[in-house]
Structure 1
Amino acid sequence: MTRNNIISLDVAIIGGGIAGLATAIALRRAGHQVTVYEKSRFSNEVGAAIHCAPNATRVLEWLGFDFIKANAVKNVWSHLGDGKTGEALRSNSLAHIESQYMYPWYFFHRVDLHNGLKDLAFGEVGQGIPAVLKLQSRLASVNATDTSLNFEDGSVVSADLIIGADGVHSTLVKWVVQDEVSAYDTGHSAFRFLVPVQSLLEDPETRWLVVDKPSTMNIFKIDDRRLVAYPCRNGELMNFVCIHPDGNSKESKEEWNVSADSDRLAKAYSMFHSSLRALCRHSEDLEDLKLWKLLYRPPIKTWTRGKCTLIGDAAHPMLPHQGQGGGMSIEDAGALGVLFSNIDSKASIPARLQMFQSVRYNRASAVQIFSNFGQDEATMMAAEAAKYGFRKVPTTQMEFHQFLYSYNVLEDTKARVSKEFFGTH
């Protein structure tokens, strides 16, 4: 339909994770008719936490996200500790983050974030036509002649704009890149589990984590082993991520999120201080201890082809060392929301997708490189990052914060659209 020469596109989004849902909201608000095709039943959402820094919360607020309803916890302190001794290596306030970067840094239970995005994408309340959700819709292939989508149930779907948000093992990526694209096992995995804060408080050996370090991003490390802990869901749960070498480096198509046992966790962290091993022991009473294989895929040569683009982990899968996987996905959504506002011709879709890649590719690729390492390993990433236009790699926590959090994807995209399509500066 047309209104004042502005058209509404039929948009197909493959994948209903954070990237897909955030983009569905952005494009719904831009006036388009969006359908999200999700391969699962949405009944096995991962019980883990995620944090969103100011570069992402800026976009979430623009999308109308309800942080209170999502039980967000503000991150106000950063603590780096020696895993062997338990002693502090660095501990500093993050109270300046919100005032300096204009938006807060939040911890979420992943399910709460996901549910908040679903409400905005598919709910009746909100700007634009509610997006449509199609569950158990697994993409099989793309027709080369007309770019229609073939699903495993035999259905065929055509759309004006196709967005691949189908993760690191994306079906669409091979069609976009026109080459084999594989993710590789890094030789590291991460145990993930959530513990009720009350349980930690009642244990004399673990009470310190809650009492001494509230609303804190805690990281304890020995060499290439890390124990990360931070609260979520209004401070009711403590999220743990335990990253460690697993000695299994090989090309991987395996399930990325499998059940694990606490004995394996205890063995992997046996060299950590007793106060930290006590935290790990709280996994013994849980039924949902998960092992997450850390996969890496180098930046691909292109994200777009014709009327199709990749976003999120399908475009730029991240290791967790910078905590920006979700943030980069949300930035993608913001850029697409701006780029596809006030579109007046379907013929301009490929050009707008090329601009999307121009806006996002170098930044997301650099963050991919940075995410292979911790913030204390900057020299190891300098050569790779230089390929994406970054001559000066951040070397301190403050420099990383400035690079990651000061960026405004909405304003950057608006400026580029004005210059390219409307001839203004």
Structure 2
Amino acid sequence: MGSRFSGDTNDPAVNVTTWLFMIIMVFSVITRIGTKLHLFKRLMLDDLFILASLVFGIAQAITISVAVGFGYGDHYVTISSTRLDQVMESIYAGSLLYILSLTCSKLSLAVFIRNLTPIAKDKRVALLVEALIGIWAVIALFGSAFQCALPRTWDVWNGKCFSVIQAILIATTCILQLAWRYFVAFSNIVTDFLLLVQAVVLVSAIQTTTRRRLIFAAIFLPRLSVPIAIVVQLTAIKKGTQTEDPTFEMCETTIIEGLIQCLSVVTACWGQLKPFMSWMRSSGLKLAGSDDSLTGVYKMSNRSQNQSTMRSRKMKTLRLGSSSNNSFSLPMRRDQIVVTQEWDVNSQSSQANIILIVGAGIAGLSAAISLRRAGHSVHIYERSAMNNEVGAAINVPPNATRFLVAWGLDPVRWNFVRARRVNLMDPFTLEPIRVLIREDTPRAVSGSDLYYAHRVDLHNALKWMASRDDGPGVPVVLHLGASIIDYNPVKPSITLSGGQEISGDVVVGADGIHSTATEAILGERSQPMPPVHHNFCYRFLIPSSALEVDPETRFWNEGDWQATIDISRVLAKFSDFSPKLLKVISKATDVKRWPLLYRYPLPAWCKGRMVLAGDAAHPMLPHLGQGGAQGLEDGLVLGIVLHGASDPAEIEKRLQIYAVIRHKRASAIQILSNVGQDQPEIVRNSLRQYLNEDEMPSKQALATI
């Protein structure tokens, strides 16, 4: 009988390949475990499985080497009966260890896939696959262990073997070993096929570019080598089973089994290398262990340095502006916060947590931009389709434009108009009462300019910065038509209207004044105050060209909120105002009646790993023009405090810092915006719970707001 190995013995081929495969497995597992220990504080369940697979693999290599030492690889007729028994015992033990090693490597990959996604359905599928792998292992081990009669269960070459059914009947007749080996091999292919199918489904479900999807697919593509090697094994099984020289002819099968075992371990380690792991987390995939406490536990080597730098540079400077006897400065001073490109560069080495933002308004998009720049993976869930954005003018004051420009926003490109002067006018005579802001005042006081913008233009600019491919960090993923019905601040997670639960590392509730996220924080809904005493604002846009062509309105160029209302009703409301002002109003063609809703400051913004932002946290009346700016500030601060964040406990502490920083400042501005200006003492009493006495605006200052 011939063999594809040359010579009178296959000993060298078996020994060399066995130890070569073992060395490759050891190197792969050490690389994987070393990477995990570098990035994480502890090993995860899938790591424990791969370690077990390696242990069984090393033991299997030892048993094969022992078999070779007793003559495995030599011709059957040259081996004594005593040495033949020792060869069969070693091969028998090796076959069981081979199954155990394969099982653990498969389970390692299955658990890894389960930990890649927060979607509950995918987790259930992964658990089912793991159960099927376990069933395969039990059947394969039981059949292989008891295919021969007791007590010589390892005696496969002396014709005293039996099937599983015959084992139960305690029979001692021979069975076709070829059929059993084929069954084990085919079922082995099936379990690997299930793993590959699950990986394909996971890859196809990712909302990303084709290039990124291909990168993700490359993590699992090498796994195809395992079933291919098993198919090759099938051709060798028959030759090694139906032979009169098994110790010589079965060596080919043994070598192929070693290759299969090696490939199974290596491909299970492949996706655990640092480049893949970092990419997966930055692309919005949840990499976690069996314990939720392991979620997001990256520990970069420079994290401590980045954290201390961040605290010293950023956090301590975020406070409310100082007051004097004559003025009260709402915007932060120019030296109070500086957003630099250096911070963005450092951010790329920070931990990429998965941030779930509910609401794609101004605050939600600002948070997305800031967190993206900090190196995190951001997903926004927006209820609307965002195909009919509406709005009128919005203030973009210096405390917002300073960091928006640093982020890369070009006011000219997005049609922002820089304020040259802001006058308080008498509505009846249009005579100026006083100049509120001169052209050079904002930059001199606050380090940046005051702009007016169309709300849609600001919104589009923020969307562009969040989703642009060439910006710092990974582009934000926007999920439209996503209605949220439940929040879990502890897990943390959100539940969509279809019942799908999405988990992440942080949840940001930025769903506006009618927020449902506040209930998860406070335990009850916080409803906005209804618009009383005709507290409405009529907002409209007039093309400047329409004012310019009319001599009576040209002077203006010298210097449910979607509900449309007839212009005649607006003119009637302001009938006793200056005729020139009424002439300007009459140019409007699309007037929106905007109810002025607000809430009193909330007692808390944060619970577990969930926070509020924007109007969900601090809706305010437009009297100070700070509503949008405060939402933008929320987003900025979130990115700063979560820079370099690592484990869940630290993330929770960072979010509490965010709440401390933002709650006092935004609540103070909320009160100043909401309370009547003719009640300065009431305002001061309300502000005392948020401001120190030396930060309190004077009565004279309040009277000028």
Aligned to 1:263: 568
How far 1:159 sits from its partner (Å)?
0.8
Aligned to 1:407: none
Aligned to 1:339: 641
Q: C-alpha offsets along residues 96-134 of structure 1, whole Å, 9 cap, x if unaligned?
A: 321332111111111111111111101101000001000
AA partner of residue 167 (structure 1): G
Aligned to 2:405: 61
Aligned to 2:659: 357
Aligned to 1:31: 375
Greater fraction of residues in strand:
1
1:136 aligns with 2:438: no
Q: C-alpha offsets along residues 322-348 of structure 1, whole Å, 9 cap, x if unaligned?
A: 000011111111111110111232321
* Contact in 2 for aligned 1:322/1:374 (Cα 8 Å): no
* Distance (whole Å) between structure 2 residues aligned to residue 143 and residue 123 of structure 1: 30
Aligned to 1:200: 547
* Distance (whole Å) between structure 2 residues aligned to residue 378 and residue 32 of structure 1: 43
AA partner of residue 47 (structure 1): G
TM (norm. structure 2) is: 0.49
* Contact in 1 for aligned 2:466/2:476 (Cα 8 Å): yes
* Distance (whole Å) between structure 2 residues aligned to residue 325 and residue 144 of structure 1: 25
Aligned to 1:328: 630
Q: Give 1 or 2 for the bigger CA radius of gyration.
A: 2
Cα distance change on mapping 1:394 and 1:78 into 2, 3 Å: farther
* Distance (whole Å) between structure 1 residues aligned to residue 503 and residue 638 of structure 2: 20
Choose the corresponding residue for 1:301, options 596, 599, 603.
Answer: 603
How far 1:395 sits from its partner (Å)?
4.8
* Contact in 2 for aligned 1:24/1:121 (Cα 8 Å): yes
Aligned to 2:140: none
* Distance (whole Å) between structure 1 residues aligned to residue 505 and residue 472 of structure 2: 21
Listed as ranges, the matches of 1:267-278 within 5 Å are: 267-278=572-583
Q: After alignment, is 87-96 or 70-79 more displaced?
A: 87-96
Secondary structure of 1:42 counterpart: coil
How far 1:180 sits from its partner (Å)?
3.0
AA partner of residue 434 (structure 2): R
1:180 aligns with 2:482: no
How far 1:68 sits from its partner (Å)?
2.2
Higher relative contact order (CA 8 A, sep 6+): 1
* Distance (whole Å) between structure 2 residues aligned to residue 20 and residue 49 of structure 1: 19
* Distance (whole Å) between structure 2 residues aligned to residue 382 and residue 268 of structure 1: 33
Aligned to 1:168: 513
* Contact in 1 for aligned 2:395/2:450 (Cα 8 Å): yes
Aligned to 2:557: 210
Aligned to 1:221: none
How far 1:260 sits from its partner (Å)?
1.2
* Distance (whole Å) between structure 1 residues aligned to residue 600 and residue 494 of structure 2: 26
* Distance (whole Å) between structure 2 residues aligned to residue 180 and residue 135 of structure 1: 24
How far 1:390 sits from its partner (Å)?
4.6
How far 1:179 sits from its partner (Å)?
2.2
* Contact in 2 for aligned 1:7/1:345 (Cα 8 Å): no
* Distance (whole Å) between structure 1 residues aligned to residue 638 and residue 489 of structure 2: 24
Q: After alignment, is 336-345 or 117-126 more displaced?
A: 336-345
1:13 aligns with 2:351: no
TM (norm. structure 1) is: 0.79
Aligned residues, how many?
356
Cα distance change on mapping 1:329 and 1:189 into 2, 3 Å: same
Secondary structure of 1:367 counterpart: helix
CA RMSD across the alignment: 2.0
Secondary structure of 1:186 counterpart: coil
Listed as ranges, the matches of 1:75-224 within 5 Å are: 75-91=419-435, 93-143=438-488, 146-187=491-532, 188-211=535-558, 213=559
* Distance (whole Å) between structure 2 residues aligned to residue 82 and residue 323 of structure 1: 19
- Structure 1 residue runs without a partner (length 5+): 214-254, 402-425
Q: C-alpha offsets along residues 328-384 of structure 1, whole Å, 9 cap, x if unaligned?
A: 111111111110111232321111111001111111001000001476764441111
AA partner of residue 335 (structure 1): V
How far 1:10 sits from its partner (Å)?
0.5
AA partner of residue 63 (structure 1): W
* Distance (whole Å) between structure 2 residues aligned to residue 76 and residue 378 of structure 1: 29
Q: After alignment, is 75-84 or 391-400 more displaced?
A: 391-400
Greater fraction of residues in helix:
2
Aligned to 1:244: none
Aligned to 1:393: 697
AA partner of residue 319 (structure 1): L
- Structure 2 residue runs without a partner (length 5+): 1-277, 279-297, 304-349
